[in-house]
Amino acid sequence: MKRLLFLEFLSSRLETFTAAIPLAPDQRERLLWRKMSLLSKLQEGEYMDLQFGIQPFLDNLPLEEVDLTKPAAANRWRFEGFDRLETLYRAAWRLKDKTPDSLLELKAMMLSAVDKDAATQAKAVSAYESRIAAVAADVRACSADPTVRAQALAELAGLAMSFNVRAGEAISLTQTVFSAKET
């Protein structure tokens, strides 16, 4: 009943108006092809007040022409070594203050190449490939807890595990620690 009374009250207070704004053809085209939003709210916060404020928001920035024949600029999302950099971060996170300097240096070198040109990024990836075995050896020799060292080595190797355990079922895990032969 209250809703019906509100709707009757609303329909008695509604007004219609029309406004015309002269637009040049290029302005009209920009308005039709850009994103636009109309937002409204009650002025007093009272539903019976019915004084709506309507505000248009237009995306009126000029479109930049993009030359699709040129490669995009280097950035962290296009960095080919991103997966490798992530393994360094995760291993350092596991080792905390026991992280070997060689791992921290390699991580810093990779991070510095992230926003550089493609050639610098490729050199960083190549340096990673040539230095990662020595970093892994330093991790094996560091003073961290053996379990933490094993987890850091797994992070460096890019290993990940996911488990789905059903309620009431026992699980048994066997930890396998890999070792690379030193040459």
Residue 17 within a domain:
no
Give the pLDDT of residue 43: 53
Domain count, the chain: 2
Q: Which two tokens stand for residue 149?
A: 């060292």
Provide, rounded to the nearest whole percent, the portion of the chain with pLDDT above 90.
36
Task: For 143, list phi and psi in degrees, rounded to 5.
Answer: -90, 10
Same domain, 46 and 95: no
Same domain, 53 and 88: no
Give the pLDDT of residue 102: 97
How many whole angstroms separate alpha carbon 64 and alpha carbon 7? Answer: 48
Per-residue pLDDT for 130 more than 50? yes
Same domain, 81 and 145: yes
| pLDDT digits 0-9 by tens, 62-88 | 667 777 777 666 666 678 888 899 999
How many whole angstroms separate alpha carbon 144 and alpha carbon 97? Answer: 9
Which has the closest alpha carbon to 99: 142, 154, 156?
A: 142
| pLDDT digits 0-9 by tens, 18-39 | 667 788 888 888 777 777 776 6
More confident position, 46 or 171: 171
- Mean pLDDT in residue range 123-141: 95
Q: What confidence tier does 140 reach under pLDDT thresholds 50, 70, 90?
A: very high
Give the pLDDT of residue 131: 96
How many whole angstroms separate alpha carbon 81 and alpha carbon 76? Answer: 9
Residue 51 within a domain:
yes
Residue 180 within a domain:
no
**Residue 163 CA to chain centroid, in angstroms?**
25
Whole-prediction pTM value?
0.52
**Which three-class secondary structure state does DSSP give residue 38?**
strand
Which has the closest alpha carbon to 58: 14, 98, 21, 110?
A: 21
Residue 69 within a domain:
no
Element (H, E) at 149: helix 146-157
| pLDDT digits 0-9 by tens, 86-106 | 999 999 999 999 999 999 999
Least confident stretch, 91-100, 113-122, 157-166: 157-166
Give the pLDDT of residue 69: 79
Give the pLDDT of residue 7: 55
Residue 86: Cβ within 10 Å count: 13
| Mean pLDDT (the chain, rounded) | 76
